[in-house]
C-alpha cells in the first residue's frame, strides 16, 4: 500500500523516499473520509509513478476526485520543465483531449420552464446527436476540418454557430496556437469529419439545471447567476478524433523511451522530451484536437439555443442564453509559473483537473479579473454541480489547478453489474423529479449516482484547502446522455 503522510486536514503526501525512481513527492488533496475510496484502486500508485517523470517539478499532484486512469490518474496534475529534460506524456492528457465543460446562463427560472420541462428535454434529446459513434448534421471536408484544427471555436462562430462574445468566455478564446494539422493522422481526420456538434457517450451529458444556492453574491452577480435561475451545462470533448490522436502518439512514444533513454515505472507513462521532434509533433496534434473540442462544444451550444428558441418561441437572446464560461479538463499547456522565486515556462499536464487561475490573471476576460477564473464542476446526473472561482493559492501551490468533478468510486463494469435490472431513469424521476433521456440503459447504469464520490465533499475539500472558492450550486432538472 502506498505510504501516505498527513500534512493537514486536506493535504496528504507520498514521500519521495517511497520509491527510488521518484523525483518529487506526491501531494494529494483529500479529506479523511475520502481516503478509503481513493485507496480502493491503484490511483495513488500512479501518483507515485508520475513523480518519476524526467523534469517534473515540485509535486506529482492529485485532486480529491482522483481515480485510476491510463498512466496518470484521473485527477492528476504534473508540471515539467523543458529546460531540465522535461517531458510531455499523452497519458497526462488522456484519450478524450480537451474533454471540458461549458456553462450557459439564462433569464428563465425553474418555475418558468416547469410546464415545458418534458418537452424541452425530449427536444434536446431529439436534436443533439449523442451515443457511441454518433454523427451530426455538421459535416465538413478535409479542408474545413483543417480550419477547425487551426481556429477552434472561432471556426464555429464564423460559420454561424454562435457569436464573437462566446469566444471571450472560452478558455484560450477557444483556440490554442501552434496547432499543426499535418501532425494529425488520416484516421483521426476521418473520425472527426462527421462528429462536430455531437455529445458522445459515457460521462458526457447536457444538463438543464436550476441555481439552488449562492455562496458568494458578488462573484455570482459578476457571472450573471441568481437563485432559481435556469442554467445549461454541456460536458463533451474531442470525440473519436481526440481518441485517435492520443492512440497514435501513445504508440509512437513507446519508441521514444529507448531513443531518449527514459526510464519510467509504467509504460503507460510513455513520454518524450518536450523540445524533441516527437514532443513538438504530439503537442501540435493535441492542440488540433483541443481546438476541435472547443468547436464541438460551441456547436452543441448553438443547437441548444435553437431548441430553447423552438420550445419557448422566443429568440435565445431574449431568453438570455449567454455563455458563462468554457473550461478544459484534459489538456497539456505551456504556462508561466513561479518556481523557486523565478518565473518559468512549464508544461502543465491536467488530466481530469480544471484550470483555476486567480484574480487579475492576464488570461481572464476583463470583467472576470476581479473574481478569478470561473471553475465549473459537474456532479453526476442525480447530484449537484458547482461554480467556483480560481485563487492565488491555487496558482502558488497547484499550478493554477483544481478538481474537475466527483470522480468515480466504481468502475464502469462494476457499476453496470451493481445496477443490473434497474431503471435508473425512473429512479431519478421518482426520487428527485429529474427527467433523463439516454441512448442505452447500460449508459445510465455505468453513470448511476452511486458510481461516483460525493460531489459535495469533493468540492468542500478544494474550497477549504483554498485552491478554489465556492460561488453557486445547481441542481439537475433534466439530462440527456449517450
318 is catalytic: no
Structural domain range at position 196: 5-481
Across the strands, what pairs with 230?
Answer: 210
d(CA 240, CA 247): 10
DSSP letter for 18, please: G
- Angle 219-221-226 (CA atoms, 0-180°, nearest 5)? 110
> What are 389's three cell numbers?
472561482
CATH no. for residue 20? 3.90.1860.10
Mean pLDDT on 86-103: 98
Residue, of 423 and 387, whose pLDDT is higher: 387
Say which range, 39-43, 309-313, 460-464, has the weakest mean pLDDT: 39-43
Number of domains the chain is built from = 1
Question: Residues near 102 by Cβ (< 8 Å), separated by ≥ 6?
Answer: 170, 233, 234, 235, 297, 300, 301, 323, 325, 326, 376
Cell numbers of 264, please?
519510467
Express each pLDDT in 203-235 by its tens digit: 899 999 999 999 999 999 999 999 999 999 999
Q: Does residue 403 carry a pLDDT above 90? A: yes
Predicted pLDDT at 442: 79
**What's the whole-number mean pLDDT along residues 112-135?**
92
Catalytic residue among 302, 329, 337, 404: 404
Tell me phi and psi for residue 97, to 5 degrees. Answer: -60, 130
CA–CA gap between residue 87 and residue 346 (Å, rounded): 10
pLDDT in tens, 327-351: 999 999 999 999 989 999 999 999 9
Q: Taking 70 as the threshold, does the pLDDT of residue 1 lie above it? A: no
- Residue 79 pLDDT class (50, 70, 90 cuts): very high
Query: What pLDDT was estimated at residue 411?
Result: 85
Q: Cα–Cα distance between 263 and 308 in angstroms, integer?
A: 53
For a pLDDT cut of 70, what percent of the chain falls above it? 100
Residues 15-20 have a mean pLDDT of 96
What share of the chain in percent tops pLDDT 90? 85
CA distances to 3, 61, 172, 328 from 175, rounded to whole Å, are 41, 26, 6, 11
Residue 410 C-alpha cell reads as: 466504481
Residue of 429, 415, 334 whose CA lies nearest to 382:
429
Amino acid at each position: 500500500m502506498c505510504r501516505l503522510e498527513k500534512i493537514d486536514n486536506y493535504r496528504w503526501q507520498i514521500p519521495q523516499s517511497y520509491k527510488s525512481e521518484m523525483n518529487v513527492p506526491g501531494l494529494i488533496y483529500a479529506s479523511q473520509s475520502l481516503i478509503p475510496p481513493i485507496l480502493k484502486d491503484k490511483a495513488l500508485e500512479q501518483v507515485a509513478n508520475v513523480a518519476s517523470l524526467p523534469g517534473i517539478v515540485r509535486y506529482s499532484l492529485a485532486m480529491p476526485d482522483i481515480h485510476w486512469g491510463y498512466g496518470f490518474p484521473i485527477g492528476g496534475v504534473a508540471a515539467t520543465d523543458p529546460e531540465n529534460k522535461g517531458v510531455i506524456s499523452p497519458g497526462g492528457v488522456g484519450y478524450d483531449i480537451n474533454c471540458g465543460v461549458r456553462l450557459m446562463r439564462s433569464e428563465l427560472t425553474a418555475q418558468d420552464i416547469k410546464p415545458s420541462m418534458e418537452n424541452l428535454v425530449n427536444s434536446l434529446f431529439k436534436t443533439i446527436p449523442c451515443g457511441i459513434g454518433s454523427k451530426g448534421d455538421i459535416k465538413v471536408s478535409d479542408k474545413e476540418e483543417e480550419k477547425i484544427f487551426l481556429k477552434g471555436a472561432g471556426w464555429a462562430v464564423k460559420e454561424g454557430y454562435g457569436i464573437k462574445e462566446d469566444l471571450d468566455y472560452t478558455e484560450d478564446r477557444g483556440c490554442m496556437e501552434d496547432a499543426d494539422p499535418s501532425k494529425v493522422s488520416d484516421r483521426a481526420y476521418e473520425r472527426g469529419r462527421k462528429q462536430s456538434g455531437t455529445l458522445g457517450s459515457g460521462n458526457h451529458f447536457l444538463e438543464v439545471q436550476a441555481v439552488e444556492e449562492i455562496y458568494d453574491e458578488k462573484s455570482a452577480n459578476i457571472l450573471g447567476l441568481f437563485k432559481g435561475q435556469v442554467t445549461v451545462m454541456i460536458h463533451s470533448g474531442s470525440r473519436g478524433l481526440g481518441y485517435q490522436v492520443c492512440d497514435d502518439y501513445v504508440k509512437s512514444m513507446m519508441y521514444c523511451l529507448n531513443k531518449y533513454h527514459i526510464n519510467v515505472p509504467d509504460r503507460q507513462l510513455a513520454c518524450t522530451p518536450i523540445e524533441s521532434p516527437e514532443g513538438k509533433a504530439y503537442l501540435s496534434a493535441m492542440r488540433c484536437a483541443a481546438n476541435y473540442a472547443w468547436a464541438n462544444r460551441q456547436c452543441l451550444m448553438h443547437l441548444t439555443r435553437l431548441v430553447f428558441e423552438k420550445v419557448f418561441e422566443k429568440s435565445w437572446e431574449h431568453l438570455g442564453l449567454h455563455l458563462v464560461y468554457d473550461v478544459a479538463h484534459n489538456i497539456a499547456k505551456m504556462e508561466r509559473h513561479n518556481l523557486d522565486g523565478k518565473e518559468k515556462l512549464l508544461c502543465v499536464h491536467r488530466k481530469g483537473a480544471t484550470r483555476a487561475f486567480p484574480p487579475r490573471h492576464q488570461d481572464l476576460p476583463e470583467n472576470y479579473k476581479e473574481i478569478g477564473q470561473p471553475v465549473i464542476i459537474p456532479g453526476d446526473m442525480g447530484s449537484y454541480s458547482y461554480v467556483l472561482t480560481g485563487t492565488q493559492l491555487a496558482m502558488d501551490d497547484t499550478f493554477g489547478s483544481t478538481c474537475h468533478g466527483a470522480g468515480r468510486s466504481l468502475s464502469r463494469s462494476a457499476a453496470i453489474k451493481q445496477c443490473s435490472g434497474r431503471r435508473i431513469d425512473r429512479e431519478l424521476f421518482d426520487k428527485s423529479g429529474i427527467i433523463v433521456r439516454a441512448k442505452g440503459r447500460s449508459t445510465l447504469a455505468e453513470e448511476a449516482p452511486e458510481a461516483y464520490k460525493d460531489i459535495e465533499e469533493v468540492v468542500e475539500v478544494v474550497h477549504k484547502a483554498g485552491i478554489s472558492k465556492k460561488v453557486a450550486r445547481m441542481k439537475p432538472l433534466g439530462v440527456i446522455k449517450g
